[in-house]
Amino acid sequence: MSDLRSIRKSKGLTMEQLANKSGVSSKTISLYEQTPPLRPSKKVVGRLSLALGISPDILLEAIGSKGRSKKGGLQEIFGTAIELSDVQVVRILGLVEKEIQDLQNLMIETASLADKHPPLARSVEYIAADIDLLNGIRKVFS
């Protein structure tokens, strides 16, 4: 599997030439070649892939290949795997489900007051974001 530097060199481009062609700074290109971010910018990936004449998926694979394990998720971020028993997973899912229900009730109550108190509208957005996060966690454990 190639990395970004190999792809750039195979296209006969210097870092400066790629920067000029893509509109991405040479400093950013250097960062992506040396220590790529865990969550690469869609804008940067789009510009670089277009300038290199490759698909964004191929570029993302190349960026992710340098010095990274294929663990993914929290394990990639924290470097530790968490093993849970079936009982623990069921318990976590129960807690997540209860929290989702509580937040949905709170959101309904807050939404009815938000019309009279506009600052509460922001709270409704935060609650909705928390519900989305918990739904994502539920999917991971289901």
Q: Tokens for 138?
A: 């539920």
Q: Tokens for 27?
A: 């400093």
Q: pLDDT digit string (tens) for 56-83?
A: 888 988 887 444 444 444 454 455 667 8
- Cβ distance 88 to 46 under 8 Å? no
pTM above 0.75, yes or no: no
DSSP for residue 50: H
- The Cα–Cα gap between 87 and 59 comes to 41
Q: Which of 103, 85, 101, 64 is nearest to 141 (CA)?
A: 85
b/e burial code for range 42-51 (CB count within 10 A of at least 16 → b): eebbebbbeb
Q: Is the pLDDT of residue 29 over 50?
A: yes
Q: Which of 7, 29, 34, 32 is nearest to 16 (CA)?
A: 29
pLDDT score for 3: 87
